[in-house]
Each structure stands twice: as C-alpha cells, then as structure tokens.
Structure 1
C-alpha cells in the first residue's frame, strides 16, 4: 500500500518538515517541498500495520530547532485496507490556535458535553473522507458539508451532507466522481431537531484538487471557521487554608472543597482556583505558612487533612478529647498555623497507631504507594530526618546530609528501627490523596473544574534539593526586580533552576510534576511564567532583590564602553561608591561608628567595606549576633544601601570583560555623582541592555523549555505574566496557546494607567485582584488621586469618588470583568463579597492574603463567614448568579 501525505504549510528557505509516529520507522519521514501551498512525502506500508496509525507533523527551523504541531489525534481511520493507494491532505495544527484549548482535559472531560464516542461506519463505496473539528456546537447541532457539483449537493442548505462526530473529529465518507474536480466546498452548521441550516463557515471556499480514482483521499481540514470564542466561564479563587466550615479544624481542609463546589455550582461558576497545596513544613512554625516554599514539589500538606474523615465512624471516639480545642481554633478570625498543625499531627499519630495494620495492607494504598514511591520514599525519609535533626537544613545534618539512594533504602527498609516513623508519612500522604481526590471528583460531578498552582521555585532546604541538588543553582536565589510594590526588589530565597541539567533527561522532573498534578487538577497556573524566559537571580551572598540580575542575559562587553566613548573604571563602577559626604548624610551621628566598624578608608574621602562585611549576607549575620536595639533595622538597611550603591555587576569568569547593569542604576548616588556626558551615554547603554538586546535571546530560552513541558500534559495552562514583561512573552504564549493573566490595575501597555477588561484577548484570565494584592476595597483606599481617575475614566462616573469603595462600585467592577471577552473571569471570594453591604468584612485590610514586599508575611487569612452560611445567603447568591447568566458565562 502506498500512502501519499500532502501538508498545507508555507515555509521559508531552510525550513524542513517531517512526519513522526509512522510504523516501523526509527526516524521521522522527511517531506519534500511540493509547491507554494503543499509539502509532500510518500510511504510504502504493509496494510496489516495500517490500523491505529497516529502521526504528527514536525517542523525543523533554519537553526535546527524542532517545533511539533499540536495534538495527538491525527490518525488514519479503520476500514480502508482495500485501497492500494491513499492520499492524505492535512492542515498543520498550530499550538496557538485558541480552539485547541477546547481539547484540553477540563473541556473534554468536564465542561463540554460528551460527543463523538460512536465509531463512524463507512458506506459501501467512497472515494473521499472529510474530517474537521468544531468544538463548540450547541445541542442538536452538527457539522454539515456542501459545495459545487451534484455529489456535494450544489451548495444546498436544505439537504446538506451531515457529518458524524467521531472522537475529536466530525467525519463523513463520500464517493466523488472525477469530473467534479477541482472541488469547492464549505462546512456549515445544521440543526437536526429543527431540520434547518444554521450557517456556513466564514472565509473563502475551500479547494481540493485531484480526481477520484482507485485511491482514497483523506482530508483533515483543521477547524471549521465558525464562532469559536463564544464559550466563557466564571470562577472563584481562594486558598484552601482560607476556607471555613463548621466542621473544620481551624483551617480550610480538602473536605471543605466540596462545600465550596456546592456554592460555586449554585451561582453557575465553572472553576475553583487554589493556591499551592504542597507540604511546607520546614520549621513547624508559622513561617511555614508561606505556600510557595514547599519542602516537596510532590507531597501534599498534612495540615489540610480532616481528621474526622480519617477516623471514620470506627475511630470517631478517639477525637472526642480534642473537640473543645477544635472548636476554639475553628472560631478564630484567622489561622493559628502552629496550633492547628500541632493538634492535627497529634491526632493523626493516634489514628495511625490504631489503623496502621489494616491500612498497610489495603490494596488501594498499595496501588498509591507503587505509583508514587519515586518521590514518596525520599520525602518520608526527609521528614523523618528533619524531625530527628530539628531542622530541614540538610546541610547541617549529622548523617545523610548528602542524599545516597542505597543508604536511604536501608533507612526506610521495613525491618529498620525507624520504619514506623517513616511509614507515618506514607500514611499521611495516602489520606491526603484520598481526600483531595474525593473533592475534585465531586467537583467534576457538578461540572466544575479545579485549577492548581505551580510555584516557580523550590525551597532551598527541601527534599527536592536534597535528592537532586544538581538540578538547581544552590548558590543563587530567585526573586524579582524592584517595582512600585517592592522598591528593593524581592528575594524569594529559592535556588534557581539549572535548566541545562534539567534538559539532559527531557525535563523529566517537570513532567513527573505535571503528571502528579493532573491526578487532582484540570488546569494550573504557572507562577511567574517569566522565569521560563529569564529569572531574576540574586547571589546567595546578597540579601536584597536589588542585588540581582536577569539570568540568562547577554552581557555588556567592556569594548562597548570604549566604542561609545564612555570612561570606564572597573573599581568605580563595580564597587560600592562610599564617600564621606554620603556617610554623613545617611548615618548622621553614627557615621563615625559605621566607618570604624564596617569600613576601611581608601584615601580621597572614599571607603571600601572591610572583608568581614563585604557582602550583604555578612552584614545580616553580624546583626543576628548583636544585641537587639531600636536602631538596628535602620542601621542594617543603611549598610545594605551602601552595598547596592553600584552601577555594574561583573560577569563571573569573564576576567573583567563582561558586565550587567544594576537595575535602577539612575537612582544610585554612584551614578548621580558622574559627569553629565558619562551619565547620558551610560543611560543609553542601560536601555539597550534591558530593553533591546535580550528579547530574541529570552524568546529562544522559553521556546527551549515551554513547548516540551506543555506537550507533556493535557491540562489547561495559564501563565502569570506580570511584572517587567519582555516583549517576546505575549508572542510565545500566543504561539503555545497559554492563557495570559490580565489585571485591571496592572496594564501591560505602559501608556495606560489601567487595563479595561473589554480589551482582554480571548485566551486570558481577567481578574480585579490576586492573592498578592489588596482586594478591590483595599486598593480603593491606597491612592486617592488614582482612585479618582479610575472612578471617572474607567467607571464613567461624574464627580468626586467616594473615599471608601462602596458596595455598588465594587459590584460594578465585578460586572465589568464578567462581561470581558476573555475565556475566564476569576475573582477572589473577598472581592465577590465586597459587592454586598451586609456580607463584606468590616475592615478591608483584613481581606488581604499576602504582602509580597514582606518576606516574613504570615499567610493566615480565613473567610469571615462559613461556607454553610454563604450557601444560605439567597439574595446575594441569586444576584451573582443573574450577573453571571447575563454575561454569558453560565
């Protein structure tokens, strides 16, 4: 049998196309340029191997990079073995086509009605098979085909050819006479119940050349050109720890998600968005409340377990002594993280002792262990060693400070003395798996999807870093450059990813992470997706984010200064610029103490730091040992500021030839002390460094990572593309079909003060606020002048803006977002409640979840009313449901 492949694809000189997935071939099949419209390849095949062939096209770009088309559903149909020759006419499936979103797991499995489960039965005689995709048809609508010639019914709309859904494709087999070629045709929509033609697809007529003979022609026509941006959904965002029910134990739990689902379903919401739920137990203190510092990228947090579900009726009596404490913690306004975790672990230890014999032989647990032991075993060992050593900082452990698989296998062996303590962590993770799986399964039954969150970093003293430190740059810290919310930048403390090492095994760690997430979630948010382009990297010897730079980045070569006639002095530009005047101005009466304790004079009224204090980390460590004084914070910050008073950072290993600009160079006194001409030329080079030379390089970095990672999962992917966004980011996200995040108060257009939800692209999530921001009400009170402009220009209101965000204003902003053209409108629960005078919290400041500028923030926000009470708020729920319905998101 001969198969001829024709692919519609326009290339440029140097590009090549291949076909992958074909049987009995180790290498992809190379295609040849056929004409301006098509590429061609021919394959001889044994008809016996024809059944079930699924293939995919692959583009090799001019630079050798490989780009795969999207999807894995292009296959040859059954029942065609009698043909000796098959022509396949295909259309490249671009990953960025927004219709592909509807073939991700949440839409195929939950949000869209099941279609196409039947197998198409071919007629006795046919010469052509037409296949096309149309994901958003309404009830009783089918795809139809009509065109020129008698076989295609002469453009009839009364009696068009109806296609049948089969898998992801609408398909039909037709016998076409050769005299009717070349063929012109279009797809359309037909209503089977009313027996009426609805519409033709948009665009020009489709064409098919060739004639019908003894061969079969299979046409994959891509997507029908019908309205495919009509589907819109609304969702609610809230951390699990913030949930409140009458039966929880002082914190939101996985079992509370079901009550949240009931409420969301009652108002016609289709999505629940959560913050990371991984185990963060590093210190057993409130510091571990930070959900983005997980000790495992795979393990779930024991604090989210509901002990009642674990106990069941059989061991319910064990919980009676703890009921008073449970009630006391559950009535608190905020989460008491340490007390809740201590109570739960105490209770769960008792339940484990009672249940461990029967639980350890449970077939469902054994299946769970078998499927997860690659991360579960080292995680359990890590937790045991953390508790034994009183610290998760494995570098200070007396034993096992370096992970060795054989030694850990001995430690976790069933006959070891430590086994019961290690087994307890298996027990917790299994119970968490059961409860979370039950919650998400319940959501799916209600037609609601669950969206998770993947942090950009891992905790420095985590199981992941212990097991595979080579995957991370442990001498670096991830963060963010300075902005209006954090003028010194942010230092998250996470080691950065060693992407080169991760790529050696095809990003296996990431693929395992995505695979596990897909057990529980239908979609996920990539925290700080900009980190896949470049990360703000801060040397470990520095403390503040201002001391970082983007990695990777194309440095400035020393010659560039000379070419621009810029006076260059290595010491002057790369060392802290500390003068007598600056010290007196900054430290006043204690300037003498600063000079004597921390600095050495260099002559000419300038100073260098002593070697004992020549990094911010050394300064930090000195203050840890000093007596606490009221002036300590002020003095320490002043010394940090001296360290950051530089213009350039030297590229390590460049022998003084390559440099990176310090962000915000112009604000330093080091820069301001230069002569005018030098400053102007440095500014020009600074702009080139940050805003010109990097974009193509960063795009290439992202395209080395994101396509492979996206192809490894069928979850819907959303990117948090906020901050200092390179110009290449929207293009990459569009190419890959990754949803963007659009926030009204953070416009991506620098010429706009606010973003209007009406201007959102379709593949986007719009929201008025996130967990890292104040709520609508909180933001309203932060800047009176800005609020006034928003009131007049964005809300279209006359006169003075109210000093406080009244409920009607809050509600109007919610409605604006509901009517956005974006696929998803997602709201913090606090923002939804803010639109009701009776339900909103008394103090807007109490609604905030996180303050990014404070690295020691305590994450403890909880709903101020229970989910049970929220369900009873009939007037509020009816009003919200109506607004969602009117917006077309129901």
Structure 2
C-alpha cells in the first residue's frame, strides 16, 4: 500500500498470458514472452503488468479453473530453450505449424501437443537426472509438488474423471499419499510432472528478473476460492465444507443464479488450517508476483453457497451468516408441521396430473412419495437436487417440471434446525398460503438475521483482509457485483485499492447520469474501461448511446460520432487523466489505439460469462509483440498520455 505523502499515479496493462503472441512463442503466449512484452511496457511507460491466473488448469481452458493453485500451466513453457530440443525441432515445428497461426487459441490442441513433446524431451534426459542435488533441493523447497505430481498421475489413470468419482485413491490420507509417491514403479511418471514444473519455474523466474531490472512490477489476479475438482481440495479435504459449492445468487441476466463448482472453506472448524494453506499459496505467488488483486473480494466477507447436487444457484444462501432458528420459529407459532410445509417442496396431485398427464404416474413411482390421506406429494429422500432429477428416465417436460417444483420453497434448511429464506420465497406456494401475520412474522425474523449477518460479515472481511495485508505482497481487490453493506468503509479504513469500471461509475442521482470527472474518483482506486468479462471500450462506445452531457463528462468531442477513432482516443486519454492510484488498460483497448486495428479488428469478450461461447478464453492478440513495439503512432500516443499522467505526481506533492 502507498504510504508516501506524494500521490503515485501508476499505469498498468491487463492481459491473459495465453493471449500474447511473439515471434518465438508456440501455440500461445509463454512465460518468456514477458521479456519482450516488458521491453514494450518500458518503451511506452507502463509500470505494471496484470496477469490473469497462470496455474495449471488441466483440461479446462478457464484460467480460474485450476487443478492446483501452486503448479504452473504447461502451456506457458517455451520448448525451444529446453535440453535436447534440437533433437526433435523438426517434429515440433511440423506439429505446431497449423495451430500457431490460428486466429484464436486452441487450448486443448496446444496443451496436448506440448505435453506430448515434453514427454519426448523428458525421456531424453540422463537416467540419473532425478538423483541430482539440484532437482531434489528444488523439490524440498516446493513440497507441494509431491501431492501435485501424484494427483496428476492418478488423474491420468482415472482418464481425467473428477476425483470424487474415483473408485480408489479418492480419500487418501497424507501418509498413504507419500507411500504411493515413494513407490519405485511410480517414480519415472511422477518425476515427469516435477521436471515440467521445475522448468516452468526457471522460465517464469527468468522473465520476472528481467521485468524487475526494467523497473516493471507483475501483478496476478487471485481467486482465493478453489475448484472442487483440484489437487488442493483432494489433498486438503478437511479445510473445505463437503457437498457445498460457491456461486452467485440469481440476477436479471441469470435468473437461476450460478454454481461455480468451487469449494467453500470450513472457517468455523478449521480457521487456523485455512490460514496455513493460504500462507503456502501466498509464499508460492511471491516468488513471481509483486502484488495481487483479490478477485471477487466480496467472498472474503461472505460467499453465496449452493448444494453440490444443483446446477444452479437458486437454492443457495450466504455463508457465514446468522440463520433463522427452529426454536425461534416455534416461539412465533410455526409448529413442526408448518416448518416442514415451508422448507420442503410439496406438489399438488391435481397440478402434477394436469401438467404431465399419463407420465405423472411414472414420475410418482420414480421420484415422489404421497402424504397419507392428502393429494400432496414430497420428493423421495434420494432426490437431493437438479443433478439427480436430470438423470431420471423421464421426458424433458417432466424433468423441467420436477426441477421447478424442487426449487420452489420458502425456507432452506441450512443445517439442523437452521433456516435461510429462499431467494424466490415470495413465489413459493407455501409462502403464498401464509396469513398476512405469518408473512410479516417470517420477514421480521429474516430481517433480524440479516442485520446480525451484516455485523458478522464485516468482522469476517476485516479479519481476512488484515491477514492478507500482513503478507509481503501489495494487496488490492475487485468487488464488481453485489457487495455486502459496509465493505467499502472497510476498504477505505484499511487503505486498500479497489477496481472501478468507468462505465458503471456515474452520478446516477443527477440529471442525465453524467460520469465522474477525472478529479472526482477516490485515489485508492484502479480505474479501467473494461474487464475480461465485459465488452471492450470500443464495443461499449458502439453499443451505448451517450448524451452530450455524458460525452462532456468523458471529455469526448461534441458534435462528433462517438464511435469514431478520434472519440475512442479521447476516451483513453480521459482514462489516463483520472486521479486514481492506478489505471488499468486492457490489451484490446491498447491494440485499438492503432487506427487500422480500430477499424479492421473485431473485438471479442475474453470470457462472456452469460454464455458457453466456444471462443471464451481463446483470445489472441492479432499482432505480435514485435509488431506492437514497432507501431510508432500507437506507442507515441500512449507514451505521451502516460507521461502526462506521471506529471500529475509532481502536481499532487
């Protein structure tokens, strides 16, 4: 954090490493591409490179879907500098010829081909290689690599199936893991994964050293959440809550919410162990990065969790939280029968047969139990969620009906005798059947829990952030989306930089909703025009019609088409004039500062979270780093405005 009297005005560039392209990279961006990219940053005056996560994601191309938060992704290795490369050079060039020149990154093809070639190179190493002091000292300094290499070995034996479905090795204890690791017949395979990580580590550190010599810092985007199907959760099962996933509550564009498949920390029982695990993660990151930006920092305060049996997040709730107590419900007149009515979905027989007709009998046989002497049905105990319903041998219409009914309830039983109000409680038959007095009573109990939860969240977030800022890394956060009350006061009190997206930062209560002027931003902000989940700046100008008042607040030329190249350049200039600690330029927004690129290149959202677009996480910059370095018009314009930004430091002193 900045503690000097003189304000510092940094300029950063954000890019997924895989998107880089250089004359030496093969298939995608690589760690050693950071060397020429850093030279370009120095050329135009950029202070900091912000990278999306670079950890191993296995078969998944999303950089956030890591199978290890310690291991680096093999796609980022540069093959040409490895020992014995000359022996297979022709095979490599032939193998990568087609995919290297593709318009987008073909993640699976790049990964599979690199792994295949790495195996060839590994088998060319001397047989005594694994006995040398250098590699074994490295293993001792990076003990995580033992569980990681074993996990990769077992994962391959299980055909890359999720570990929760493994018939053996699913719940190994630590001693059993190391017994397997030490078995002689496993050594060659395990050391392959170790060798790859060892070489990746050397290449990454070489690039970092070059950046440090240039005076350029490296920042990573960090999600403290971990995918369930990962080595981390497999090996550290005790610190995560079983059968719960992190996600997001329903919203306008995603009415069913989201189940991200990330595990939930068991703070209540294993707080000390969670912090020990984080210590190891942060120590590993500090080998390469000078700062971290915590992605979705709301999760440090509270996280939306949903049962693992559901695809959606509609039956989720926040944790930690204060929940409605069974005893309290009883005190206010809700007996056990009433509580069961509110917390379990009941289906009327007339509705069931009216919608499904003849198939209703089969649905009852497979999924429902009728209540004695009533035309009401409950789900059988084994129907725990949407995933179970989807596997039933029923029609799509029947599955859709059952899913809707299963998700229709007023209360969610979070744990024994603890309840949360369901997100869509207002539309559940059980809530609609309540009297006005009962509805008001239930809402009053929920609001009381909400107030108490706000206090709990603030304490949880403060404690977690205090832990993070005590580490030897500069910490900033990203809090885009719905945030708990008081989060911004906590960030302000702790002097923590927060990410701000300019197009959403307006004076909404004023006529015409003008954007903030450059001197109205909070200094401890990182301002940007776009993120990897949003439209680029050029797309935004083309999609949203701005009033003259709004154009004026952005310093765009009046009387000129806002989609013009001149307007676009003015927008970038305005961003760089904002008096915040950091301005974050996304790589696509920089590429478009060249007029030819601006008119001829179609931007894509790096990850359109609302779709399963096959182009998600496949963006590749359309020019090489070398071509970018030689683009005089783009570089001159960018350098001049960054210099003006730096000049604001003297004015603030």
Please give the TM-score of this superposition, normalised by the length of structure 2: 0.88
1:736 — aligned with what?
494
Distance change in 2, residues 1:591/1:686 (3 Å): farther
Whether contact under 8 Å (1:538, 1:547) holds in the other structure is: yes
Contact 2:291 2:474 in 1 (8 A): yes
Q: What SS does the aligned partner of 1:348 have?
A: helix
- Look up the match of 1:769: 530
Within-5 A mapping of 1:673-752: 686=446, 689-690=449-450, 692-711=451-470, 713-747=471-505
Q: Which has the higher contact order (CA 8 A, sep 6+)?
A: 2
1:43-58 paired onto structure 2 within 5 Å: none
Report which stretch shifted further, 526-535 or 509-518.
Answer: 526-535
Distance 1:406 1:686, change over 3 A: closer
Shift in CA distance, 555/411, structure 1 to aligned 2, threshold 3 Å: closer
Are 1:383 and 2:152 matched, yes or no?
A: yes
State the distance in 2 between where 1:419 and 1:469 align: 25
Give how far 1:796 is off: 6.8
Q: Secondary structure at the match of 1:650?
A: strand
Paired positions, count: 639
Match of 2:359 among 575, 582, 593: 593
CA distance in 2, matches of 1:484, 1:811: 33
* 1:771/1:848 contact within 8 Å kept: yes
**Secondary structure in 1 aligned to 2:584?**
strand
Corresponding residue of 1:851: 608
**Offset at residue 452 of structure 1 (A):** 0.9
> After superposition, where does 1:177-576 map in structure 2 within 5 Å?
227-229=5-7, 231-281=8-58, 284=59, 288-311=60-83, 315-357=85-127, 359-360=129-130, 364-372=134-142, 374-413=143-182, 416-505=184-273, 507-557=275-325, 569-576=338-345
Cα offsets for 1:536-566 (capped at 9, x unmatched): 1112222211211001111124576688899
Q: How does 1:65-76 map to 2 (within 5 A)?
A: none
Q: Which residue number corresponds to residue 97 of structure 1?
A: none
1:444 to 1:591, Cα distance in 2 relative to 1, 3 A: farther
Could you tell me which runs of 5 or more consecutive residues in structure 1 were left unpaired when the two chains were aligned.
1-99, 103-134, 136-226
Residue aligned with 2:598, SS: coil
Q: For residue 659 of structure 1, report the CA deviation from its aligned partner.
A: 2.1
Cα pair 1:558 1:659 within 8 Å, conserved: yes
**Does the residue aligned with 2:415 lie in a helix, a strand or coil?**
coil
Structure 1 CA distance, aligned partners of 2:52 and 2:178? 33
Aligned: 1:616 with 2:386:
yes
3-state SS, counterpart of residue 852 of structure 1? coil
Instruction: Give the superposition deviation at 1:700.
Output: 1.5
| Deviation per residue, 1:361-384 (Å, 9 max, x gap) | 665434322211x20111111111
Cα distance in 2 between the residues matched to 1:666 and 1:564 = 20
Per-residue CA deviations over 1:737-780 (Å, capped at 9, x if unaligned) read: 32211122445998687863643322221112211222223345
The SS at the match of 1:488 is coil
1:42-96 Cα distance to aligned partner (Å, 9 max, x none): xxxxxxxxxxxxxxxxxxxxxxxxxxxxxxxxxxxxxxxxxxxxxxxxxxxxxxx
Name the CA distance, whole Å, in 1 between partners of 2:559 and 2:378. Answer: 54
- Whole-angstrom distance in 1 between the partners of 2:169 and 2:619: 37
Rounded Cα–Cα distance in structure 2 between residues aligned with 1:670 and 1:814: 53
Q: How far apart, CA to CA, are the structure 2 residues paired with 1:498 and 1:665?
A: 27
Distance 1:488 1:397, change over 3 A: closer
Determine the C-alpha separation between the residues in 1 that align with 2:613 and 2:422: 25
Give the superposition deviation at 1:853. Answer: 3.2
Q: Is the 8 A contact 1:696 1:728 kept in 2?
A: no
How far apart are 1:798 and its partner, in Å?
9.4
Q: Does the 8 A contact of 2:607 with 2:617 survive in 1? A: yes
**More displaced, 294-303 or 246-255?**
246-255
SS of the residue corresponding to residue 391 of structure 2 reads helix
Q: Greater Rg, structure 1 or structure 2?
A: 1
Q: 1:659 aligns with which of 410, 415, 419?
A: 419
Shift of 1:800: 9.7
CA distance in 1, matches of 2:553, 2:93: 50
**Are the structure 2 counterparts of residues 864 and 592 from structure 1 closer, same or farther at C-alpha, using a change threshold of 3 Å?**
farther
Greater shift, 531-540 or 570-579, is seen at 570-579
CA contact (8 A) 1:744 1:754 kept: no
- Cα distance, 1:799–1:564 mapped onto 2, change above 3 Å: farther
Cα distance in 1 for residues equivalent to 2:611 and 2:65: 15
TM-superposed CA distance for 1:790, in Å, is 8.4
Equivalent in the alignment of 2:651: none
Aligned ranges 1:799-818 → 2 under 5 Å: 805-818=563-576
RMSD: 3.4
Q: Matched residues in 2 for 1:723 and 1:396: separation?
A: 33
Q: Give the distance between the partners of 2:349 and 2:568, measured in 1 at CA.
A: 52
Determine the C-alpha separation between the residues in 1 that align with 2:519 and 2:350. Answer: 53
Report if aligned partners of 1:274, 1:451 keep a CA contact under 8 Å in 2: yes
Structure 2 match to 1:160: none
CA separation of 1:513 and 1:790: change in aligned 2, threshold 3 A: farther
Distance 2:190 2:362 in 1: 53
Q: 5+ unaligned residues in a row in structure 2: which ranges?
A: 649-653
Change (3 A) 1:569 1:443: same
Give the match's secondary structure for 1:354.
Answer: coil
Cα distance between partner residues in 2 of 1:639 and 1:841: 50
Q: Does 1:833 align with 2:591?
A: yes
Q: Distance in 1 between matches of 2:399 and 2:203?
A: 47
| C-alpha contact 2:306 2:315 (8 A) present in aligned 1 | yes
Any conservation in 2 of the 1:275–1:453 contact (CA below 8 Å)? yes
Structure 1 position 791, deviation (Å): 4.5
Instruction: Give CA-to-partner distance per residue, 1:677-710, whole Å, 9 cap, x none.
Output: 66566556555544x3322111112233332333
Looking at structure 1, the residues matched to 559 and 334 of structure 2 have their Cα atoms a distance apart, in angstroms, of 51
Q: Distance in 2 between matches of 1:889 and 1:579?
A: 71
Matched residues in 1 for 2:570 and 2:476: separation?
26
CA deviation profile, 1:619-647 (whole Å, cap 9, x unmatched): 1333xx77xxxx84x76555433322222
Contact 1:841–1:864 under 8 Å retained in 2? no
TM-score (structure 1 length as normaliser)? 0.66
Deviation at 1:809, TM superposition (A): 3.6
Provide closer, same or farther for how the CA distance between residues 496 and 670 of structure 1 changes in structure 2, counting only shifts above 3 A.
Answer: same
Aligned equivalent of 1:648:
411
Partners of 2:259 and 2:96 in 1: how far apart?
36
Distance in 2 (CA, whole Å) between partners of 1:842 and 1:759 is 35
Is structure 2 residue 19 aligned with structure 1 residue 101? no
Alpha carbons of structure 1 residues 758 and 345: separation in structure 2 relative to 1, 3 Å: same
Q: Which residue of 1 aligns with 2:640?
A: 882
Alignment of 1:128-147 (within 5 A): 135=4
